[in-house]
Structure 1
Amino acid sequence: MSKGRVSSKATVSTKATGHRNNFVLQGSLLAVAGILVRIIGMVYRIPLTAIISDEGNGYYTSAFSIYTLLLILSSYSMPTAISKLISQNLAKKQYRNTERVLRVSFLYSSLMGAVMASVLFFGADGIAELLKKPYAAFALRALAPTVWIMAYLGLLRGYFQGMGNMIPTAISQILEQIANAIVSVLMAYVLFAKGQQADLLYKNTEFSYAYGAMGGAIGTGAGAGLALLFMFLLYRYQRPALRRKAKRDEGLTESYERSAMLLLFTMLPILFSSTVYNISSVLDDFLYSSIMTSLGSKTKQIVMEWGIFGEYHVLFNIPVALANALSSSLIPALTMAVASHDRQKTLSQIRVSIRFTLLIAVPCSIGMAVLADPLSRMLFPGKNVHLLIQLTRVGSFAVLLYSLSTITNAILQGLGHLNLPLYHSMVALVLHLLSLVLFLYAGLGIYGVVLSNIVFALIMCFLNQRAIFRHTRFRIDLFRSLVMPMLSGLIMGGAAYVIYFVIYILLPEGLRKGRVGSAMSLLPAVFIAILIYFFLLLKSHTLTREDLDEMPMGGRLKRFL
């Protein structure tokens, strides 16, 4: 966004404040749903991992990385692109163009969903061989129908997000994850038993793990199907209102060809950026398997360590959910601010989104590092828990960096600079892969994957922030947004560790390192740590009355304080 596109004459108004509060409220609702979804995902992965073990989890994680990549091509960029176009049309009251965007998007979803599902189903064996994990093909085929389902689901989520309503997306995500959890565990249990019979028949040990991973993949499709049904029924209920507005719309109506081109040119930069941003997990898998094999590691060891890395990612994704949710609500809100040439509103939304992201990401990053031991033992106890603990400690800093890079990506997209996140992702990806190769040949093993991910996110943060300043002259208030939260977080982390350690010592020795004992020492430490953190933010005036006004239920919280 250049200076010429944003008016400097805008003034603060009640309407602007309402838009800002609505943006934060919608983002917070989606964030709560996202965190709840991640918690459900983390909880169901406990019995799932217990059933299919680290080896099965390795197959599941590899298959899911490929599925995510194809999902990006078929539907991942759809909610962002559609919400951006719809919010632009609604700002201009162009309801007929909104309908045309939906029709063109449906055609794209149908085509790309079918193509990507076919690639995943018929190419499963080749992809699995390429990843040096041939038994991952079972899970890959099970995920193929889900790619097609998610293409339509992404379309409907983008429609409601563009209308400024994040609640349908939030509810659908929760329904999706609940169904996913139930069906995944059930099917993993059933198919793992079938796989054990195949192991005996073929004198092998891998069919049980592969079948179990396939069961987990089937659950993903069941969850997506339920979410799509919910979104479709809600859309059918609201569709007549949009049609009535479209009939009264006397403005210029764009042709289907122009609507298709607008969607394409809006989606392509987001799609390429998301692809580069997420393809790193697939390339990490390929490079890690190939290089570790060349260095003499056995396939079973490689699959097991990749499964542990997948467990680390489950922990990592929970706090990052906040940034993902805020970015979903930020893009349409920021697009409207730019379209109305309201500089003050634009800068306010950038400030609020970065500030709230850092206020949450900083303590989460510190907390993961300090409490990695009881957190890992509570969720994924087993023979390889020591490796998970160390990965969590080493990779805790990535929570802060990925949260910040996610929200700054959304800021640039909302400002209309869709190509910049793509360029930044390509630069970061190249340096990430170079660092990964160096780390692996240096003997760091699976730790090299975690460290190279930190390199990727660090470069993204630097490039994104530089671009935001260049186009808006916005600077992060480092003292209030980073330094004070960091100091408060360090004090919080020290207090949390002391509380955990005291409870740990008081517990019977046989209970300390088990799942129940870890929960008994972890949960009180987390609860008190949260209170200490926010108390320090308030006493240091890092969190002000104005900040509380911008938070959901901030008025009640202010009265309580």
Structure 2
Amino acid sequence: MSEIQGRKRKQKKDDFLMQGMILAVAMVLTKVIGVVYRIPLTNILGDEGNGFYGYAFEVYAMTLILSSLSIPTAVSKLVAARVAMRQRRNAFRVFVCAFVFSAAVGLAVTLLIFFGADTISLHMMKSPLSAYALKVLSVGLVVVAVLGVLRGYFQGLGTMLPTAVSQIIEQIINAVVSIVGASILFGIGTDAALKNGEELLAPAYGAAGGTLGTVAGALFALFFLGFSFLIYRPVIYRQIRMDHIRKRESYGRILKILLLTVAPVIFSTAIYNINQILDLTIFNSIMSAQGYTEKEYMAMQGIFTGKYNTLISVPLAMANGLAASVIPSLTAAVTKRDRKQIHAKISQTLRFTMVIAMPCFVGFTVLASPLMVFLFNDDSKTPAALLIMGSITVVLYCYSTIANSILQGLDEMGAPAKNAGISLIIHLGALFIMLVVLKWNIYALVGSNIVFSLCMCVLNARAIRGACGYRQDIDRTYIKPLTAALIMGIFTYLVHLILDIVIGGRFIPTAVSILVSALIYAVAALKLGVFTGQDIKDLPQGKKIYRICRKYRLLPR
């Protein structure tokens, strides 16, 4: 009996937590690389260039949802359901259908955005010079559309490694090409600005050069996944030959199911991104009406998108990694109607998410100004104040992101879309009040995002409870990680204060404080009992980690 239980525990670790951690670590690494390369990129572009870059990227992200970002989720869910029922042939047919569909839609959207970039930038974005960056980004839409299908197929098969490696490759290429492209085109734009008498041409050209990296990175990631698929193809065909299920799903039926699965995912994911576009459009319009020049409000926007969002997105990457893993895992459990396993997966995913989100929230609050100086050499008040104010969104967005995926894994596809729609309405009302009545200018963008993410958390938590009767352990999920994070925050503040007085400088006090904070948080979390012994054993190399913890008495008695 114990042997059977051990085998089940091992399967759980291999199929769920380990795969989720692989993808989460890869996503965090890509975001760290993103933060690192944004430092020289920000210095090249300046706040105005970052404004053009960020604005064009928001439109790109929005169209990306329609062409590809919803596809990996849908493909992984449909493939996982068929693999759970041992229908390997039908799982592969899902991949073929999704591949053709995504390539066609991606190409159509690419052409639409490329030829409509000037109109979108002028009338929708109120920032005509963003068209240069948007045209470059549009080329990447068809590439990422096909890339998303390959990632979704591998995820549905239960392996996150190809996706993880491809994301790291994508970000490395992105970093190198973005910096080189921005530097070269900024120089060309400077010459054009002198000839045309338009000083913003230099940052606009530079932003377009920076977006070249996005396209190049996606292309190299596609080459890697295509190569991985060719290597794995004999295994896929062998599994198909061993599939004796007589019922073959028609491509018409698969396309219908794919569209029905994609539609609510598109809507809920679109709300997450459209609120950024709406925010920036409303912000620009109101700032202009209040007498600010384009240079002034684009500079404020550049701080928000280029500095604040860049840092906030790092811990959110971890949540996205676990979210991608939990969908096929939960889908398989739902297909088998295993209620106990469903609850266990939800509990473990939410707890591990909060274990990462809580210290990031406290760390951003305590080290806001040192981080802005460390990364961007910016000691002005606004970037640090934005980070302090918005650090709570790390916890809120991490939870709502994971909760969205949990609901999708539970086949509650419409719930995230409905909740996102309600949250968006409340969010826009809050943004208008903060901009027009309170006149918070750039701080209104952060404040309204707090309102949006909080609404999503409350609504998604209710939906999960209604869908499967799950109730979260408040103490071990929220209170203990937050307590450990607060202990970490106190020590981090003191360490940085002492090092700043004794040593000073831009790098050493902040770097050492971050390392010390990670060590203190890990010890505090272990001593407070945030993790059970089984939680630790379920991690990659978990048994070794558990033995070390026992040896140094890091676990509660």
Structure 2-normalised TM-score? 0.95
Which residue of 2 is the match for residue 169 of structure 1? 163
Deviation at 1:157, TM superposition (A): 0.2
Choose 209-218 or 256-265, whichever is displaced more.
Answer: 256-265
Structure 2 match to 1:244 = 238
User: Match of 2:292, SS?
Assistant: coil
- Counterpart of 2:57 in structure 1 is 64
Task: Tell me the equivalent position of 2:29.
Answer: 36
**Alignment partner of 1:366 out of 362, 365, 374:** 362
Question: Which residue does 2:86 correspond to in 1?
Answer: 93
Deviates more, 1:169-178 or 1:90-99: 90-99
- Given residue 102 of structure 1, which amino acid in structure 2 is its aligned partner? F
CA-CA distance at 1:269 after TM superposition: 1.1
Structure 2 CA distance, aligned partners of 1:374 and 1:31?
A: 26
- Choose 183-192 or 530-539, whichever is displaced more: 530-539
Indicate which of 85, 108, 120 corresponds to 1:115. 108
Q: Which residue does the alignment assign to 1:19?
A: 11
CA apart distance, 1:141:
0.2
- State how far apart, in whole Å, the 2-side matches of 1:559 and 1:519 are: 35
The CA RMSD measured in Å over matched residues stands at 1.3
Rounded Cα–Cα distance in structure 2 between residues aligned with 1:57 and 1:497: 30
2:553 aligns with: none
Q: Does 1:527 align with 2:521?
A: no
Any stretches of 5+ residues in structure 1 without a counterpart?
Answer: 1-11
Distance 1:71 1:541 in 2: 41
Aligned counterpart in structure 1 of residue 297 of structure 2, from 302, 321, 331: 302
- Mean Cα displacement is larger for which, 91-100 or 218-227? 91-100
Counterpart of 2:282 in structure 1 is 287
| Shift, 1:259, TM fit | 1.1
Q: What's the offset of the Cα at 1:327?
A: 0.5
CA contact (8 A) 1:375 1:518 kept: no
Correspondence for 1:444: 440
Q: Deviation of residue 241 (structure 1)?
A: 2.1
Partners of 1:320 and 1:107 lie apart in 2 by 31
Matched, 1:356 2:330: no
2:265 maps to 1:275: no
User: Runs of 4+ in structure 1 displaced over 4 angstroms?
Assistant: none
Pair 1:421 & 2:409 matched: no
Q: Are residues 1:386 and 2:403 paired?
A: no
Q: Provide the residue aligned with 1:207 in structure 2.
A: 201
| 1:415-460 deviation line (CA, Å, top 9, x unaligned) | 1101100000000011111100110011101100001001111010
Paired with 1:81 and 1:270, the residues of 2 have a C-alpha distance of 8
Structure 1 position 79 matched with structure 2 position 72: yes
Q: Quick one: distance in 2 between partners of 1:200 and 1:434? A: 42
Asked if 1 retains the 8 angstrom alpha-carbon contact of 2:412 and 2:467, the reply is: no
Q: Distance in 2 between matches of 1:314 and 1:503?
A: 26
Gaps of 5+ in 2: 550-557
- Counterpart in the other structure of 1:180: 174
CA deviation digits over 1:290-343, x for unaligned, max 9? 111111111111100110001110000101111100000110011001111111
Q: Does 1:467 align with 2:463?
A: yes
The equivalent of 2:492 in structure 1 is 496
* Alignment correspondent of 1:150: 144
- Separation of aligned partners in 2, 1:236 and 1:41: 29
Contact 1:20–1:345 (8 Å) recurs in 2: no
Q: Distance in 2 between matches of 1:25 and 1:99?
A: 24
Structure 1: how far apart are the matches of 2:546 and 2:95? 42
Number of matched pairs: 542
The one-letter code matched in structure 2 to 1:64 is F
- Distance of 1:385 and 1:229 partners within structure 2: 42
Q: Distance in 1 between matches of 2:75 and 2:6?
A: 28
* CA–CA distance in structure 2, aligned partners of residues 335 and 13 of structure 1: 22
- Partners of 1:204 and 1:26 in 2: CA distance: 51
* Residue equivalent to 1:543: 531
Equivalent AA in structure 2 for residue 416 of structure 1: D
After TM superposition, give the deviation of residue 95 of structure 1 in Å. Answer: 1.7
Q: Distance in 1 between matches of 2:256 and 2:155?
A: 21
Tell me the secondary structure at the aligned position of residue 506 of structure 2: helix
> Does the Cα contact within 8 Å between 1:334 and 1:346 map onto a contact in 2?
yes
Q: Give the distance between the partners of 2:109 and 2:248, measured in 1 at CA.
A: 32
Are 1:397 and 2:392 counterparts?
A: yes
Deviation of the 1:15 alpha carbon? 4.2
User: Is contact 1:16-1:345 (8 Å) kept?
Assistant: no
The amino acid that maps onto 1:97 is N
The aligned amino acid for 1:13 is Q
Task: Tell me the distance in 2 between the aligned counterparts of 1:525 and 1:191.
Answer: 37
Shift in Å at residue 177 of structure 1? 0.4
> What is aligned with 1:133?
127
1:460-500, Cα deviation, whole Å (9 max, x unpaired):
00011111111222111111111111111111101100000
Equivalent residue for 1:196, pick from 174, 190, 197: 190
User: Is this contact kept in 1: 2:484–2:528, CA < 8 A?
Assistant: no
| CA-to-aligned-CA distance 1:59-92 (integer Å, 9 cap, x gap) | 0000000000000000001111000111111111
The separation in 1 between residues aligned to 2:426 and 2:507, in whole angstroms, is: 39
Native 8 Å contact 1:405 1:461 kept in 2:
yes
Stretch moving more, 149-158 or 533-542: 533-542
Identity of aligned residues (%): 41
Cα distance in structure 1, aligned partners of 2:443 and 2:390: 9
Match of 1:337 in 2: 333
Q: 1:132-169 CA distances to partner (integer Å, 9 max, x unpaired)? A: 21100000000011011000000000010001000000
- Structure 1 residue 550 displacement after superposition: 2.1
SS at match of 1:518: coil
Partners of 2:539 and 2:242 lie apart in 1 by 37
Classify the secondary structure of the residue corresponding to 2:539. coil
Structure 2 counterpart of 1:406, from 381, 391, 401: 401
Alignment of 1:321-332 (within 5 A): 321-332=317-328
Structure 2: distance between partners of 1:273 and 1:203: 43
Q: Provide the secondary structure at the position in 1 that maps to 2:472.
A: coil
Equivalent pair of 2:537/2:545 in contact (CA under 8 Å): no
Indicate the SS of the match to 1:101.
helix
Partners of 1:241 and 1:480 lie apart in 2 by: 42
Q: CA deviation at 1:237?
A: 1.5
Q: Which deviates more, 236-245 or 169-178? A: 236-245
Q: Is the 8 A contact 1:412 1:418 kept in 2?
A: yes
Matched AA of 1:536: A
Higher relative contact order (CA 8 A, sep 6+): 1
Deviates further, 261-270 or 170-179: 261-270
**Helix, strand or coil at the partner of 2:507:** helix
